Chains A and B, each alone.
Chain A
Amino acid sequence: QITLKESGPSLVKPTQTLTLTCTFSGLSLTTRGVGVGWIRQPPGKALEWLAIVYWDDSKRYSTSLESRLTITKDTSKNQVVLTMTDMGPVDTATYYCAHRDYDSHPDRAVDHWGPGSLVTVSS
């Protein structure tokens, strides 16, 4: 059974850097085709895809946020970390991590999501 859970600060100040950790079980980021990504959702607004890292350490980022984002994996801890620099009030959102396996399911995108972590940006 695949489970993911996000952790990190619930409140950050403007201009600070946000670091979020996704801890997962039931999957391995050493398995071909497996990826873990991040999606966010401002209150009452649409989902926005941020980034994904795959088993082979390939990474993809949102074009509009790429300069502020870094995604890394730690296979020994079963974790994926997302950092976002220069946080502002517009970055207030629930941040989700999610799983993808394009080798087992080549026609599917993300299928398992964490419960989400609300991050508020305020001074």
Chain B
Amino acid sequence: IQLTQSPSSLSASVGDRVTITCRASQGISSYLAWYQQKPGKAPKLLIYAASTLQSGVPSRFSGSGSGTEFTLTINSLQPDDFATYHCQQYHSYPWTFGQGTKVEI
């Protein structure tokens, strides 16, 4: 299953609302996760099951979608949110990741 993220990068300002899309090449129900990764660090789980916020993740992050189209939304972008975001499907093996979206200032 291929995952296509868009855009591959974006520029935004503090306070902006940002939306990232992840499209699957076939239906994956809601078996989609979003991760945040900062340079030199491991990815951090933000959202799983397409829309469930991982414990401790700020509520400005939200996810939606099912089937083949998913979105990650960051409301009121904060300085700490500038990072790369990855989607991952775990509907079937082999698990796959999107190519990542870099959110820059």
Can you give 28 contacting A-B residue pairs, CB < 8 Å? Answer: A46-B98, A46-B99, A46-B100, A47-B43, A47-B86, A47-B88, A47-B100, A48-B97, A49-B88, A49-B95, A49-B97, A63-B94, A64-B94, A96-B42, A107-B30, A107-B31, A107-B49, A107-B52, A108-B48, A108-B49, A109-B31, A109-B48, A109-B88, A109-B90, A111-B48, A113-B42, A113-B44, A114-B42
Q: Tally inter-chain residue pairs, CB-CB below 8 A.
A: 55
Interface size on A, residues (CB 8 A): 21
User: Is there contact, CB below 8 Å, between A107 and B48?
Assistant: yes
Assembly CA distance A95 to B70 (angstroms): 27
A115 located at the interface, meaning its Cβ lies under 8 Å from any Cβ of chain B in the complex: yes
How far is the CB of B20 from the nearest CB of chain A, in Å? 14
Contacts of A64 in B (CB 8 A): 94
Assembly CA distance A115 to B88 (angstroms): 19
Contacts of A11 in B (CB 8 A): none
How far is the CB of B1 from the nearest CB of chain A, in Å? 11
Contacts of A122 in B (CB 8 A): none
Contact of B97 among A47, A63, A113, A116 (CB under 8 A): A47
Q: Which A residues have a C-beta under 8 Å from some C-beta of B?
A: 39, 46-49, 60-64, 96, 105, 107-111, 113-116
Assembly CA distance A60 to B96 (angstroms): 13
A interface: dominant SS? loop
B68 located at the interface, meaning its Cβ lies under 8 Å from any Cβ of chain A in the complex: no
Q: A47-B88, A62-B94, A115-B41 are in contact. List 19 more A-B contacts (CB 8 A).
A: A39-B97, A46-B100, A47-B43, A48-B97, A49-B88, A60-B93, A60-B94, A61-B94, A64-B94, A96-B42, A107-B30, A108-B49, A109-B90, A109-B95, A110-B45, A111-B54, A113-B42, A114-B42, A115-B42
